[in-house]
C-alpha cells in the first residue's frame, strides 16, 4: 500500500516537472521570436536557396581582352573626370542667428522626393533659415507604416543628414514646441511652392513672411521647388545640391545593408551585370500618349489616367493620340523586348546578368517575357532577397485587414422592386445578389468597365506605396553600382526627368567612365522598324549600325543630357559644377585628333582642375586606350539572339570574321562615317 502511494507521488512530481519544463520552453521560444528577429533573418538568408539560379553557357572573357573592354570596360574619354563638390571659394559657415524656421512637406515619388530635399536645403541656405527635418507625405504614420520610423527616417539616415550639412545649413529634427503647436492649429503661413521657382521668388515672397513670423511651411509637390539652372554667381549652391544628393542623403542602415547583400549576391558568380530600368509607369505612358503600346485593359487604364490629367491641366493635348507616331518621335519608352534586341545586337550573350529595377513595371511580368526569352539571367530584387529580410526592412507593422464593404442594400432593393413591377411574363431573371468588390492595385482593374472614377486608396495600398520607396532605394543603389546601365525611358508622368535620369546623373558624378548607354529612342525606333518582318534574321550591316549607335550614345548621350535634362533637373547632369578634370587631361584633349573628343569636352566645360592628390597616374594617350570603341567582336559574341542554322553559320564564318574586322577598323577611326 505504501509502495503505491510513493509511486503516485513520484508520478505527480514527474508530471509537475514536465509542465514546468514545457512552460519554460514556451517562454524561451517567445523570447527568441520577440527579440532575435535579426538573427533569425540572418540564419534564414544563409540557408535559403534563392529563386535565381544562374545559368552560364560560356566563360566570361578575360578583362584584358578587346571583347571584354567593348562590353564591360570603362569609357576611356571620361576617365579623367572626377567628382568634386567641395566649395571652391569663400564659403561661410551657417550663422547661429537665422531668420527663422522652414518646415517642408514633400509629396511625390522617389525621384521627386530626392530632388525636392536637395532644393529645400539650398532654399534654407539662400534665406539663412534653420531647416526642420523634411516630412515625406508618403511615409507618415497615417499610411500604415511601422511606428518605429518617423517620416524622413523611414527612407534616409537622419543623423548622417544633419552631420553632413553642418557647415552648410542648420538642420533640426523638429520645430520648437511653441511653433509646433502653432502649426497644429494652422497658425503659421503656408506656401504651395511652384515647380522650378527662381531664387527671386523666395527673396521677394517667402523671406519677408519668414522674418515676420519666424517660421514658414513649404508644400512641395512637383518634384522640385528651385530652378535647375541658376545664374553663374550661384554656382556654389549647385555644388551644395551635389553634396546633399550624393553625400548627405544616405539611406537608413537597414536599406544599405540589404542593398549591399543583394549587390554581393549579384556579383557572387564573378561576372559583371547590366542594370535596366524600364521607366514604364502608368503616369508616364499617359502623359506622353503611349496607350496603344498595349492592346488590353492596360490601354483603358492609361487613357483613363490621361483623361484625369487633361481635366487637371497636367496634359495640354488631346485624349486620343497616335501612339505609333509618338513612338517614332521618341516620346514613348523602349519596351523590354526592344532593349533586349539592342543588347543582343551590341554583343551581350544570352547568359549575361540583367537586373531589372523599378518598383512597378506597368503591364506586369507579361511585358518582361520577351526579355526573359533573350536572356537567361534576368532577375530583380525579389529574386535576390528573402521575405524575412523584407520584413526586417519594413519594421514592425500592424496587421491590416482590408475587407471590402457590404454591398449597397438600397440599390438591390430598387432592382428587385423594378423586377416585380415589370411587364407581363415571361420576365427576365432577377439580378444576382450584389457581391462585394475588391480591387487589387497590382492586379485586374475591375473598376475600369464600371466607373469613371478610381476607387480611393486603402490603407494597405498606401502602405504598399511607402514600401515602393524602399524598393526603389534598393534599386537605386544597385543601378548606381552596376557595371552597365541602360534606361528604357528618362521622363516621368509630368515630363520631368525620372528615376533613371537621377541614376545616370549619379553615375556621371561618382564614376563618369562607367558604361552608361543613353539610346536615342527616335533613332532606335527607326532601326527596329527596318527589321520588323525579319527580326530574328537581321543582316550584319544592321548589326554594325546598332553597335555604332549604342557606342556613340556613351558620349553623345551626355551632350544631349546637358541640353535637355539639365534645364529640368540639375541632378540628372551635375557637370561641370560638381566635377573636376585631371591635370593632364587637358593636354590629352588638345592633342586628340578626334572631333568627338573636342566636342565632348567643349560641352562638358570642365575647366576646374582636380587637386594634386587625385592625380593617381598618367592617362594613356595611345590609340587603343583613348578610344573606347576599339574592340574586336569575336564570332561567338556575334551570334546574338538570331537563330541561324548551324550549316549557314559555318558557311558564313569567314564572312563574319571579315565583317567584324572591318567594323573594328571603322571604330578605330572614330566610330563614324
SS (H, E, C) 518-580: CCCHHHHHHHHHHCCCCHHHCCHHHHHHHHHHHHHHHHHHHHHHHHHCCCCCHHHCCCCCCEE
pLDDT confidence band for 357 (50 / 70 / 90): very high
**548-577 residue pLDDT tens:** 999 999 998 898 888 889 999 999 999 999
State residue 485 phi and psi, 5-degree precision.
-130, 135
Check residue 10 and give its pLDDT.
Answer: 73
Start-end of H helices in 82-176: 110-126, 158-164
The residue ranking higher by pLDDT, 388 or 583, is: 388
Calculate the CA dihedral of residues 467, 472, 475, 477 and round it to 10 degrees: -110
Check residue 488 and give its pLDDT.
Answer: 94
Q: Find which of 68-82, 498-512, 648-662 is predicted with most confidence, using mean pLDDT.
A: 498-512
Q: Which residues face 124 on adjacent strands?
A: none
> Strands 135-136 and 515-516, how do they pair?
unpaired
Check residue 3 and give its pLDDT.
Answer: 59
Q: Take residue 500 and report the three cell numbers written for it.
A: 533613371
Check residue 605 and give its pLDDT.
Answer: 75
Q: Which residues are within 8 A (CB) of 619 and not within 5 positions of it... i.e. 6 or more apart?
A: 79, 80, 582, 584, 585, 588
Check residue 130 and give its pLDDT.
Answer: 95
pLDDT confidence band for 669 (50 / 70 / 90): very low
CA 208, CA 199: separation in Å to the nearest integer?
14
CA 412, CA 410: separation in Å to the nearest integer?
5
Closest CA to 328 of 290, 360, 384: 290
CA 417, CA 613: separation in Å to the nearest integer?
87
Q: Take residue 19 and report the three cell numbers written for it.
A: 509542465
**431-451 residue pLDDT tens:** 555 544 444 444 445 555 556
Distances (CA, A) of 636 to 68, 474, 650: 13, 34, 12
DSSP 622: S
Q: Which of 22-36, 199-213, 457-471, 646-660 has the lowest mean pLDDT?
A: 646-660
Check residue 4 and give its pLDDT.
Answer: 60
Q: Which of 93-97, 288-292, 406-410 has the lowest mean pLDDT?
A: 406-410
CA 482, CA 81: separation in Å to the nearest integer?
18
**404-431 residue pLDDT tens:** 444 445 556 666 676 566 666 565 666 5
Q: Which of 296-305, 308-317, 336-345, 505-514 has the lowest mean pLDDT?
A: 296-305
Cβ–Cβ under 8 Å, residues 367 and 343:
no
**498-527 residue pLDDT tens:** 999 999 999 999 999 999 999 999 999 999
The residue ranking higher by pLDDT, 581 or 339, is: 339
Cβ–Cβ under 8 Å, residues 487 and 275:
no
Domain annotation for the chain: domains and CATH numbers = 53-79+251-277+345-397+457-537+549-582+595-610 (no CATH), 99-249 (3.40.50)
Calculate the CA dihedral of residues 543, 545, 546, 549 and round it to 10 degrees: 160
Cβ–Cβ under 8 Å, residues 546 and 346:
yes
Q: What is the mean pLDDT of residues 73-90?
A: 90
| Helix (H/G/I), strand (E/B), else coil: 98 | coil
For the chain, how many helices (H) and strands (E)? 26, 13
CA 195, CA 492: separation in Å to the nearest integer?
15
The residue ranking higher by pLDDT, 25 or 442, is: 25
Cβ–Cβ under 8 Å, residues 485 and 479:
yes
Check residue 190 and give its pLDDT.
Answer: 93
* Cα Rg, the chain, nearest whole Å: 30
| Helix (H/G/I), strand (E/B), else coil: 84 | coil
Check residue 413 and give its pLDDT.
Answer: 63
Cβ–Cβ under 8 Å, residues 220 and 138:
no
Q: Which residues face 334 on adjacent strands?
A: none
Check residue 449 and give its pLDDT.
Answer: 55
Q: What is the mean pLDDT of residues 62-75?
A: 90
Cβ–Cβ under 8 Å, residues 525 and 327:
yes
**615-644 residue pLDDT tens:** 665 554 444 443 444 444 444 334 444 444
The strands making up 515-516's β-sheet, listed across from edge to edge, are: 377-379, 353-356, 273-277, 484-487, 515-516
> Strands 190-192 and 215-220, how do they pair?
parallel
Check residue 72 and give its pLDDT.
Answer: 94
Percent pLDDT > 90 in the chain is 44
Q: Determine whether 588 is exposed, middle or buried from the number of CB atoms within 10 Å of its CB (0-12, 13-18, 19+).
A: buried
Q: Which residues face 277 on adjacent strands?
A: 487
> Strands 130-132 and 135-136, how do they pair?
unpaired
Cβ–Cβ under 8 Å, residues 437 and 450:
no
Q: What is the mean pLDDT of residues 458-474?
A: 88
Amino acid at each position: 500500500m505504501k509502495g503505491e502511494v510513493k509511486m503516485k507521488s513520484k508520478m505527480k512530481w514527474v508530471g509537475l516537472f514536465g509542465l514546468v519544463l514545457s512552460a519554460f520552453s514556451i517562454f524561451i521560444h517567445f523570447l527568441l521570436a520577440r527579440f532575435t528577429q535579426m538573427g533569425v533573418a540572418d540564419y534564414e538568408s544563409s540557408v535559403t536557396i534563392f529563386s535565381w539560379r544562374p545559368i552560364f553557357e560560356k566563360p566570361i572573357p578575360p578583362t584584358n581582352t578587346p571583347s571584354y573592354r567593348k562590353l564591360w570596360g570603362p569609357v576611356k574619354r571620361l576617365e579623367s573626370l572626377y567628382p568634386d563638390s567641395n566649395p571652391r571659394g569663400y564659403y561661410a559657415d551657417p550663422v547661429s542667428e537665422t531668420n527663422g524656421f522652414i518646415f517642408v512637406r514633400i509629396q511625390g515619388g522617389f525621384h521627386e522626393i530626392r530632388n525636392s530635399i536637395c532644393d529645400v536645403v539650398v532654399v534654407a541656405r539662400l534665406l539663412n533659415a534653420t531647416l526642420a527635418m523634411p516630412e515625406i507625405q508618403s511615409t507618415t504614420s497615417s499610411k500604415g507604416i511601422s511606428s518605429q520610423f518617423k517620416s524622413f527616417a523611414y527612407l534616409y539616415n537622419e543623423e548622417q543628414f544633419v552631420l553632413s550639412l553642418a557647415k552648410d545649413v542648420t538642420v533640426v529634427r523638429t520645430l520648437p514646441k511653441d511653433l509646433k503647436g502653432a502649426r497644429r492649429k494652422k497658425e503659421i503661413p503656408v506656401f504651395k511652392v511652384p515647380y522650378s521657382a527662381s531664387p527671386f521668388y523666395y527673396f521677394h515672397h517667402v523671406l519677408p513672411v519668414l522674418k515676420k513670423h519666424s517660421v514658414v511651411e513649404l508644400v512641395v509637390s512637383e518634384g522640385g521647388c528651385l530652378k535647375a539652372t541658376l545664374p553663374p554667381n550661384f554656382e556654389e549652391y549647385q555644388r551644395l545640391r551635389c553634396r546633399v544628393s550624393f553625400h548627405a542623403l544616405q539611406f537608413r542602415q537597414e536599406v544599405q545593408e540589404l542593398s549591399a547583400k543583394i549587390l554581393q549576391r549579384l556579383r557572387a558568380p564573378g561576372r559583371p551585370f547590366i542594370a535596366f530600368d524600364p521607366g514604364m509607369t502608368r503616369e508616364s505612358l499617359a502623359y506622353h500618349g503611349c496607350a496603344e503600346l498595349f492592346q488590353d485593359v492596360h490601354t483603358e487604364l492609361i487613357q483613363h489616367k490621361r483623361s484625369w490629367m487633361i481635366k487637371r491641366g497636367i496634359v495640354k493635348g488631346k485624349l486620343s493620340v497616335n501612339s505609333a507616331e509618338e513612338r517614332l518621335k521618341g516620346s514613348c519608352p523602349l519596351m523590354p523586348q526592344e532593349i533586349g534586341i539592342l543588347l543582343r545586337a551590341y554583343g551581350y550573350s544570352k547568359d549575361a546578368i540583367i537586373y531589372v529595377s523599378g518598383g512597378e513595371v506597368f503591364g506586369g511580368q507579361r511585358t518582361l517575357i520577351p526579355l526573359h526569352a533573350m536572356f537567361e539571367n534576368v532577375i530583380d530584387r525579389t529574386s535576390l532577397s528573402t521575405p524575412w529580410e523584407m520584413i526586417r526592412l519594413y519594421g514592425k507593422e500592424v496587421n491590416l485587414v482590408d475587407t471590402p464593404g457590404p454591398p449597397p442594400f438600397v440599390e438591390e432593393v430598387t432592382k428587385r422592386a423594378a423586377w416585380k413591377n415589370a411587364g407581363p411574363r415571361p420576365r427576365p431573371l432577377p439580378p444576382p445578389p450584389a457581391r462585394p468588390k475588391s480591387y487589387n492595385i497590382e492586379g485586374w482593374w475591375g473598376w475600369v468597365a464600371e466607373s469613371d472614377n478610381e476607387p480611393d486608396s486603402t490603407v494597405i495600398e498606401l502602405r504598399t506605396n511607402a514600401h515602393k520607396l524602399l524598393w526603389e532605394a534598393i534599386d537605386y543603389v544597385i543601378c548606381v553600382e552596376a557595371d552597365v546601365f541602360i534606361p528604357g525611358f528618362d521622363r516621368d508622368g509630368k515630363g520631368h526627368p525620372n528615376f533613371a535620369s537621377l541614376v545616370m546623373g549619379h553615375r556621371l558624378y561618382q564614376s563618369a567612365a562607367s558604361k552608361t548607354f543613353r539610346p536615342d529612342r527616335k533613332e532606335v525606333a527607326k532601326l527596329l522598324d527596318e527589321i520588323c518582318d525579319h527580326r530574328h534574321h537581321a543582316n550584319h550591316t544592321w548589326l554594325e549600325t546598332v553597335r555604332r549607335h549604342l557606342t556613340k550614345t556613351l558620349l553623345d548621350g551626355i551632350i544631349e543630357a546637358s541640353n535637355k535634362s539639365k534645364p529640368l533637373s540639375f541632378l540628372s547632369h551635375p557637370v561641370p559644377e560638381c566635377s573636376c578634370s585631371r591635370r593632364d587631361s587637358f593636354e590629352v584633349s588638345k592633342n586628340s585628333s578626334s572631333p568627338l573628343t573636342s566636342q565632348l569636352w567643349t560641352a562638358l566645360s570642365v575647366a576646374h582642375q582636380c587637386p594634386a592628390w587625385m592625380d593617381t597616374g598618367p592617362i594613356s594617350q595611345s590609340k587603343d586606350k583613348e578610344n573606347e570603341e576599339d574592340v574586336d567582336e569575336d564570332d561567338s559574341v556575334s551570334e546574338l539572339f538570331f537563330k541561324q542554322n548551324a550549316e549557314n553559320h559555318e558557311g558564313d564564318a569567314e564572312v563574319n570574321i571579315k565583317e567584324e574586322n572591318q567594323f573594328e577598323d571603322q571604330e578605330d577611326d572614330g566610330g563614324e562615317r
